[in-house]
Chains A and B, each alone.
Chain A
Amino acid sequence: MSAILSTQDIVVRFGVLQAVSQASIEVVEGRVTGLIGPNGAGKTTLFNVITGLQEPTAGKVFFDGKDITNKNPFKRARMGIARTFQKLEVFGSLSARENILVAAEQRKTWDRSGFDPNQVCDEILEKVGLSDVSEFMVGTLPTGTARLVELARALASNPKVLLLDEPSSGLNEEETEEMASLLRKLVEEGLGVLLVEHDMSFVMGTCQFIHVLDFGTIIATGTPAEVQANAQVQAAYLGTETVVEAS
């Protein structure tokens, strides 16, 4: 399996602070790749670099075999990278349905397959389980539901790779389980997912492959079992094994 999305030695510096240093990660289609690390490890910054919201100080981003390091965010989206945000970035004054519709209509500008945005929108609403609230303004919806709207919006642009920034925060246990099964369904359909998440049982349960980021550096890479067994990871991030089991 070759990676559809990869970063190569990404460095991001904010003044004297090095947020990301030489981070190289890979995302493969058809599986969930986890990106974990303590708060402030640089996970969201790396997301921003991949989607073009943050210019890296050094390093390159490759997608589908092309160097996209200097491309505009909207061009990357049109190539097939979609994302959600850690802090909600929904279109609060549009209805849930319109949030998704706007993305589906936008897809028309580069996807000439002749799909019907309204139909795509309805399918995704159904898939994510938002049909009941589709006509409500997103600003009036609870945080957990709004998160699903964000996910649905990302799916509406028919991405090849989906970047999820803490999708389970704000969700209750049941919703988290639904989110996990949705992710499994999506990767079965061939989507590549990069997942930033704090909920360890969620990460260990859904990811097939994990990168561990600490102080901007990738300290470990491997399967969930390998990562859990890694001594450096335990010391830097997980603390002790008991924490993993407890959460």
Chain B
Amino acid sequence: MRLKVSPRLISAIVVGLVVLFFVTQNWGGASVNAKTISSFLVVGIALGGIYAITAGGLVVTYATTGIFNFSHAAIGCFLAFCYWQLTVKQGLPTLVALVITLLVIAPAIGFLLDKVIMRRLRDAALVVQLMVTVGLMLTFMGITLTIWSPKTGRTLPQFFQDTKGVQLGDVTATWHRIITVVIALLVALGLRFLLYRTRLGISMRAVVDSRSLAGLTGAKPSIISGASWALGCMTAGLAGILIAPETGLVVENLTLIIVVASAAAAIAQLKSIPMAFIGGLIIGLSKSFSAVYLEWGTDWTYADEAIPAAILFIALLFLPMARLETGKIRITKRTERLTRPWEAALGAGVMIALVGAWANGWIPWISGTTFGERSTVWLGRGAGFMVIGLIMISLIPLIGWAGQVSFANFAIAGIGAVLFSHFGGQNGDALGIVYVMLVCAPLGLAIALPALRLKGLYLALATMAFAEIADKVIIRHPNMLDPSATGVLFKPVDIFGITISSDPSDRKAFLMFLVVTFSLLFFMLEMLRRSRWARRWIAMSDSPAASATIGVNLTTTKMMVFMLSGAMAGFAGCMFGLQRGALSVDSFPLFAGLPLVLLLAVQGVRYPVAAFMGVIGLASFPALYEVLGKPSWLTAIELIGPGIAAIAMAYRPEGAVFYSGRDLAGLLPWRKDARLEKELMVAKEREQNIGKDEINDMGLTRPFTQDKVAQLDRVLDITDLVDETKMVPTGGAS
């Protein structure tokens, strides 16, 4: 008989050994006795309770609306600041402040989000759903930072700070922590009860499966989804208020709890509230264990903060394989045709000409500004923007075509930059760039590996976790980037007779090198889009099930695109290093990578030209500052810009490049196809909307009566088109 070893068992053993290795390697020497154990448990359970609350809220929102809310923790952070404002600043009693924050502001935010944005996202592509919530996350961070300047330190007192707490063996459990645990339990029970025992909760769960069906039961889908979002915001706020006294009232710390909540949600397979609570507890206990027993050496200074991300990765290994689902296809109403080679070449030429003209001062600009003078400072900035453009363009095949949402490319570029400083960058060896690309290609694949067999959302979570691990553990390791080493890491590199470096005298050449490389990549991608590779990636993204049934091996197809994207990001990383000249350990935080993906998505993630438009978008704010001085309204726009972008994406999911491109193409006399396709599209949109909006608006969700059918006909003005006898209900015929 063949011995059958489950892959899960092997994974469990491997993970166990790895964890054991890290624990023994970094054992801090604290003796394991009643005192340390109880202190580990008290801290761990309290921390876990807070994580559990926020994870529970995240799972409820996802389970009832189908949207994974990356802004969950950022909303919680904003609400914690609101609470601070009300109690510490305005001096309101705790209870009153809690009621205002959690029962007024939080639900208001939830209903507003649902009404303005989230409802439009129900049928949107995953990348749009995710990018909108990422945009909201950046917005809430921006708003909080604007109202409450980070220059002032703030502390949020614990509940019952002045009391002594309870003596449990050798440790004191503060009342704040005891309350936290009690609240966590109440929230768990309450959410469970709400979802499974109340009419509202059952409707909430029904809505995500079938909106129209839930409508027929008499539930109002709009109120239900509003309630889901309100509930999510309330749990986020509660967790924020509870955790702020422990971690400090700092925007970044509070927002990063999203990684913790995601890890717990992954353990819960995004649906089980009890498991989300257990996941929260596991993470809380792990962090507490690390704090009490482990001593991370100087090599792993920030490893402690990467624990939730590591747990997220481990959880993904144990998730069951996703089935190839059918019937979930989103028919995109797009009109476009393939870019012809000469058009792509023309586009590449225009980019080079534009940047070249700017770099040489041939574009007239308002005199008296440094932007107009093309100072070396501006040339350096321009190179910086082009480097970011290179990172953005590496995402086009991955996110835009293959539909694999990744937040890791900025981190890969960071690792690429650091590696380049070892592989030849320090000697000005151009070959080092090739080595870096050869390492970054499989790296891109390795990040995706645990999530390849899972559904798309998990991949986004895995890449987010990786970005966090790369920032906190990999890049900061002294063997990668020595924090004590200062000064220039990269010597000028000679490629094809051009010297590229951060040196002021080389900057114009460097900028031109970058724009030529960018244009080449742009042209290559446009050609790739016409090839069988891109066709297969897009097919896989549109319908994985149908792709498999025409013989596409989904796993290897995904692997290809991850490697391509990884190599491109690695190249961008080398340029990043050269452009900066030096690197600091905190150059690549998760929060710096997310806006790039958002910026690209807003421009249109399917179109290589969007990366160039993103570069122009990046350059526009500093350019405006140069011209206008630094008016506060511009700063405000810059801060809430991501939010505007997020809302714009909910309404215009294909991105700015697509809509402007389509309309412009229609103006060209020889693009009759563009005009015709737009007509077709508008007609089809109209046809589909009859089913949704107009019937909903009239409240006709109940089974039709002849009167209502007649009423509908009058509204739609189709009375004479339709044979009236056919509209009589025929008992469930579809």
- Kindly provide the distance from the CB of A89 to the nearest chain B CB, expressed in whole angstroms: 4
Chain A residue at minimum C-beta to C-beta distance from B677:
A140
Kindly identify which residue among A93, A109, A110 contacts B542, using a CB–CB cutoff of 8 Å.
A93
Residues in B with CB closer than 8 Å to A140 are 333-335, 677, 680-681, 684
Q: Is B324 an interface residue (CB 8 A)?
A: yes
Residues in B with CB closer than 8 Å to A86 are 327
Q: Is B337 an interface residue (CB 8 A)?
A: yes
Q: Is A60 an interface residue (CB 8 A)?
A: no
Kindly identify which residue among A72, A73, A92, A156 contacts B331, using a CB–CB cutoff of 8 Å.
A92
Query: Complex formed: what's the CA distance from A159 to B336 in Å?
Result: 31
Kindly identify which residue among B330, B338, B536, B548 contacts A73, using a CB–CB cutoff of 8 Å.
B548
**Known A91-B542, A92-B330, A102-B532: A74·B337 in contact at CB below 8 Å:** no
Kindly supply a per-residue 1/0 record for chain A positions 137-167, scoring 1 wherever the CB is within 8 Å of any chain B CB and 0 otherwise: 1111110001000100110110000000000
B contact residues, total (Cβ < 8 Å): 38
Q: Is B517 an interface residue (CB 8 A)?
A: no
A105 pairs with B324, CB closer than 8 A: no
Chain A residue at minimum C-beta to C-beta distance from B401:
A93
Residues in A with CB closer than 8 Å to B538 are 91, 93-94
Q: Is A225 an interface residue (CB 8 A)?
A: no
A89 pairs with B550, CB closer than 8 A: no
Q: Is B551 an interface residue (CB 8 A)?
A: yes
Query: Complex formed: what's the CA distance from A146 to B552 in Å?
Result: 21
**Known A85-B326, A140-B681: A90·B549 in contact at CB below 8 Å:** no
Query: Complex formed: what's the CA distance from A241 to B538 in Å?
Result: 47
Kindly identify which residue among B333, B549, B551 contacts A139, using a CB–CB cutoff of 8 Å.
B333
Chain B residue at minimum C-beta to C-beta distance from A105:
B532
Query: Complex formed: what's the CA distance from A90 to B641 in Å?
Result: 36
- Kindly provide the distance from the CB of A48 to the nearest chain B CB, expressed in whole angstroms: 8
Kindly supply a per-residue 1/0 record for chain B positions 529-553, scoring 1 wherever the CB is within 8 Å of any chain A CB and 0 otherwise: 0001001101101110111111111
B323 pairs with A53, CB closer than 8 A: yes
- Kindly provide the distance from the CB of A224 to the nearest chain B CB, expressed in whole angstroms: 23
- Kindly provide the distance from the CB of A43 to the nearest chain B CB, expressed in whole angstroms: 13
- Kindly provide the distance from the CB of A14 to the nearest chain B CB, expressed in whole angstroms: 11
A106 pairs with B542, CB closer than 8 A: no
Query: Complex formed: what's the CA distance from A50 to B486 in Å?
Result: 63
A52 pairs with B331, CB closer than 8 A: no
Q: Is A31 an interface residue (CB 8 A)?
A: no
A74 pairs with B554, CB closer than 8 A: yes
B551 pairs with A110, CB closer than 8 A: yes
Q: Is A184 an interface residue (CB 8 A)?
A: no
Q: Is B332 an interface residue (CB 8 A)?
A: yes
Q: Is A211 an interface residue (CB 8 A)?
A: no
Q: Is B329 an interface residue (CB 8 A)?
A: yes
Chain B residue at minimum C-beta to C-beta distance from A99:
B539
A94 pairs with B539, CB closer than 8 A: yes
Kindly identify which residue among A53, A95, A102, A135 contacts B324, using a CB–CB cutoff of 8 Å.
A53
Q: Is B673 an interface residue (CB 8 A)?
A: yes
B536 pairs with A102, CB closer than 8 A: yes
Q: Which of A75-107 contact B (CB under 8 A)?
A: 76-78, 81-83, 85-95, 98-99, 101-103, 105-107
**Known A92-B330, A93-B538, A102-B536: A85·B554 in contact at CB below 8 Å:** no
Q: Which of A22-78 contact B (CB under 8 A)?
A: 48, 51-54, 72-74, 76-78
Q: Which of B409-433 contact A (CB under 8 A)?
A: none
A92 pairs with B535, CB closer than 8 A: no
Kindly supply a per-residue 1/0 record for chain B positions 304-339, scoring 1 wherever the CB is within 8 Å of any chain A CB and 0 otherwise: 000000000000000000011011011111111110
Kindly identify which residue among B545, B606, B684 contacts A85, using a CB–CB cutoff of 8 Å.
B545
Chain A residue at minimum C-beta to C-beta distance from B678:
A140
Q: Which of B538-574 contact A (CB under 8 A)?
A: 538-539, 541-543, 545-554
B546 pairs with A137, CB closer than 8 A: no
Residues in A with CB closer than 8 Å to B334 are 92-93, 137, 139-140
- Kindly provide the distance from the CB of B346 to the nearest chain A CB, expressed in whole angstroms: 21
B323 pairs with A77, CB closer than 8 A: no
B550 pairs with A103, CB closer than 8 A: yes
- Kindly provide the distance from the CB of B593 to the nearest chain A CB, expressed in whole angstroms: 26
**Known A102-B532, A136-B680, A140-B335: A94·B542 in contact at CB below 8 Å:** yes
Residues in A with CB closer than 8 Å to B542 are 90-94
B550 pairs with A135, CB closer than 8 A: no
Residues in A with CB closer than 8 Å to B550 are 77, 82, 102-103, 106, 153-154, 156-157
Kindly identify which residue among B326, B329, B673, B677 contacts A92, using a CB–CB cutoff of 8 Å.
B329
A90 pairs with B329, CB closer than 8 A: yes
Query: Complex formed: what's the CA distance from A126 to B541 in Å?
Result: 27
Kindly supply a per-residue 1/0 record for chain B positions 499-542, scoring 1 wherever the CB is within 8 Å of any chain A CB and 0 otherwise: 00000000000000000000000000000000010011011011
Category for how many chain A residues contact B: 35 or more
Query: Complex formed: what's the CA distance from A87 to B325 in Å?
Result: 11
B543 pairs with A89, CB closer than 8 A: yes
Residues in B with CB closer than 8 Å to A142 are 684
Residues in B with CB closer than 8 Å to A73 are 324, 545, 548-549
- Kindly provide the distance from the CB of A223 to the nearest chain B CB, expressed in whole angstroms: 28
Kindly supply a per-residue 1/0 record for chain B positions 670-689, scoring 1 wherever the CB is within 8 Å of any chain A CB and 0 otherwise: 00010001001100100000
Query: Complex formed: what's the CA distance from A156 to B606 in Å?
Result: 26
Query: Complex formed: what's the CA distance from A164 to B326 in Å?
Result: 15
**Known A74-B553, A82-B550: A87·B333 in contact at CB below 8 Å:** no
- Kindly provide the distance from the CB of A211 to the nearest chain B CB, expressed in whole angstroms: 21
Chain A residue at minimum C-beta to C-beta distance from B606:
A93
Which of B535, B606, B677 has the most chain A CB atoms inside 10 A of its CB? B535
Residues in A with CB closer than 8 Å to B551 are 74, 77-78, 103, 106-107, 109-110, 157
Kindly identify which residue among B326, B330, B333, B681 contacts A53, using a CB–CB cutoff of 8 Å.
B326
- Kindly provide the distance from the CB of A240 to the nearest chain B CB, expressed in whole angstroms: 15
A90 pairs with B548, CB closer than 8 A: no
- Kindly provide the distance from the CB of A214 to the nearest chain B CB, expressed in whole angstroms: 17
B548 pairs with A77, CB closer than 8 A: yes
Kindly identify which residue among B333, B337, B543, B553 contacts A95, using a CB–CB cutoff of 8 Å.
B337
Residues in A with CB closer than 8 Å to B549 are 51, 53, 73-74, 76-77, 81-83, 154
Query: Complex formed: what's the CA distance from A98 to B547 in Å?
Result: 13
Q: Which of B324-374 contact A (CB under 8 A)?
A: 324, 326-327, 329-338
**Known A140-B677, A153-B550: A105·B536 in contact at CB below 8 Å:** yes
B548 pairs with A53, CB closer than 8 A: yes
Residues in B with CB closer than 8 Å to A154 are 549-550
Residues in B with CB closer than 8 Å to A146 are 331
Kindly identify which residue among B332, B545, B680 contacts A89, using a CB–CB cutoff of 8 Å.
B545
Residues in A with CB closer than 8 Å to B677 are 136-137, 140
A91 pairs with B333, CB closer than 8 A: no
Kindly identify which residue among A52, A72, A90, A141 contacts B546, using a CB–CB cutoff of 8 Å.
A90
Chain B residue at minimum C-beta to C-beta distance from A109:
B551
**Known A73-B324, A77-B551, A82-B550: A90·B337 in contact at CB below 8 Å:** no
A102 pairs with B539, CB closer than 8 A: yes
Query: Complex formed: what's the CA distance from A51 to B5 in Å?
Result: 27
Query: Complex formed: what's the CA distance from A117 to B550 in Å?
Result: 14
Chain B residue at minimum C-beta to C-beta distance from A156:
B550
- Which A residues have a C-beta under 8 Å from some C-beta of B? 48, 51-54, 72-74, 76-78, 81-83, 85-95, 98-99, 101-103, 105-107, 109-110, 117, 135-142, 146, 150, 153-154, 156-157
Q: Known pairs A87-B329, A103-B550, A140-B335. 13 more at Cβ < 8 A? A: A52-B548, A74-B552, A74-B554, A77-B548, A77-B549, A77-B552, A82-B550, A91-B542, A92-B329, A105-B535, A135-B673, A137-B334, A138-B331
- Which B residues have a C-beta under 8 Å from some C-beta of A? 323-324, 326-327, 329-338, 532, 535-536, 538-539, 541-543, 545-554, 606, 673, 677, 680-681, 684
Q: What are 23 sample pairs from A and B whose C-beta atoms fall under 8 A apart?
A: A53-B326, A74-B552, A77-B550, A87-B326, A87-B329, A88-B331, A89-B326, A89-B545, A91-B543, A92-B329, A92-B330, A92-B542, A93-B332, A94-B538, A101-B535, A103-B550, A106-B550, A110-B551, A137-B335, A138-B331, A139-B333, A140-B677, A154-B549
The 6 A-B residue pairs with the shortest CB-CB distance in the complex, in nearest-first order: A77-B551, A73-B548, A89-B546, A87-B327, A91-B542, A103-B550
